[in-house]
Structure 1
Amino acid sequence: MTRTSELPGRPCSVAATLNLVGDRWSLLAVREVLFGNRRFSQIARNTGAPRDRLAARLKSLVEDGLMERRPYQASRSEYYLTDAGMELFSVLTALLAWGDRWAQDEPPMVLQHQGHRIQPMIVCETCGQRVGVEDLQLVSNAPGWTLSGPEEEPERKA
């Protein structure tokens, strides 16, 4: 796993997450496995990813603990999401909803729960209330960083 201290800029879990799954093929591969398409040929067909790039991404997802490979024949494997990979469901659902609204004229797929369309939302785990950005209080927990940036600007070499 990537630690935020290994990345440039503000220590941030978003940056660490994007370092793991921030390219197009990784999240699309996760989507396909989430949909039950576990074989390389299915993932390649449904993502449109170049086979060499997809192989590299799947290898990274396995190494980073988001997927595991399980053999189903002597030289063939299927991919399964780990608990960490399964937790990307909410991320993909949020991206899908955003894309339906801002990137598509008509949604190409609809997610339903018990026959009705779902919309993702953020709910506070403690009180159960829906949370909007206006409800958030941001607290910097990274040593040496405030919400506006590093506490001290590093000296620049001339």
Structure 2
Amino acid sequence: MIKKTLFLLITALVLISCKHQNEENKSLDVKKENSSNSEDLLKKNKDTDTIIEVEETEKPTEVLFKCKENDNGMSRYDDPLNKTCVCNETTFDGAYEIFYKESPDYEQKNLLKKLPQKNKEWKAPDADVTYTWVEQDTLKINLFYQGGEDTYVFYKNSDNKIEYKQYVSLP
């Protein structure tokens, strides 16, 4: 009986000390991580051999197209308008360049990198694509997929900024 009690007592003490050691290791890991981060923020001035602290700041990412989702409650079959986006750009070339860079990879591979100045049709990896100019003040881009169609209509709004509407058609 005494042996069992001693065994249980020793086992409990070993488990407690292991848990305590594990917590100490975690705090040491955090301190080590923090100190390495601190070292990254400290730079040595070569001229004076003094250590200066450098503050790391993230550059704020500027949203170049401000978009508003169409939330009128109608189904895609009744109203294919998905969203309307406005850009501070006043030229089609500049706005298209931003649009291309902000497009997801799966769309980028179907779009031309440079905006064509004339109507253009081409076969992309996943879609048939048409760029159509309407009187040089409106650009319509159609992407015909096997499972539907996306249409982007670019135009200048009343503030002389480029705006586009995205329409999604389902099969």
TM range, smaller chain: under 0.3
- Higher alpha-carbon Rg: 2
* Structure with greater helix share of residues: 1
TM-score, structure 1 length as denominator? 0.21
